[in-house]
Amino acid sequence: MKWHFENGQPIYLQIVSQMKMAVIRGQYPPGSRIPSVRDLAMEAGVNPNTVQRALSVLEDEQLIVTQRTAGKSITEDNERILALRRSTSKEILDECITRLEAIGLTHDEIAASISAYIKNGKDTTNEQNHLP
């Protein structure tokens, strides 16, 4: 997994977020083992205590489970993963819509813009494809 950290937010929270996205994308399928704390720390270039703190958060949220002899793995609770996907989608949409409202678009314009974007792909060179 490729890690990217930014200033302004604790690294352990960024690890939590990136692990959640990896689960949503299927990089870590339900029931799959995750690397050890030490391996994840080396891969991310951070202190093992930072990784352990992130994994504790994910465990508290029941996204990962610890088995004494088998290590840590992603939950097999597909409903929990689906709920994570839905809540993440809602957060992204909330942010996007808030930003579009801030530039003065109405909900109808936002809906038309999103529809055009989906229909025409990610090509942003033709502004007429994206704004009504």
Per-residue pLDDT, 39 = 96
**82-90 long-range Cβ contacts below 8 angstroms, 24+ apart:** 84/20, 84/23, 84/24, 85/24, 88/20, 88/21, 88/24
Per-residue pLDDT, 68 = 84
Q: Sorting pLDDT into bands at 50, 70 and 90, what band is 123?
A: low
Give the separation between CA 123 and CA 56, rounded to whole angstroms: 41
Per-residue pLDDT, 105 = 96
pTM passes above 0.85: no
Per-residue pLDDT, 104 = 96
Residue range 62-96, pLDDT digits in tens: 999 998 888 999 999 999 999 999 999 999 999 99
Quote the percentage of the chain above a pLDDT of 90. Answer: 85
DSSP 7-71: TTS-HHHHHHHHHHHHHHHTSS-TTPBPPPHHHHHHHHTS-HHHHHHHHHHHHHTTSEEEETTTE
Chain mean position to CA 55: 15
pLDDT at 124 over 60: no
29 and 44 Cβ atoms separated by less than 8 Å: no
Per-residue pLDDT, 126 = 52
Domain residue spans in the chain?
11-76, 79-129
Averaged confidence pLDDT in the chain: 91
Fold of 11-76: Arc Repressor Mutant, subunit A (1.10.10)
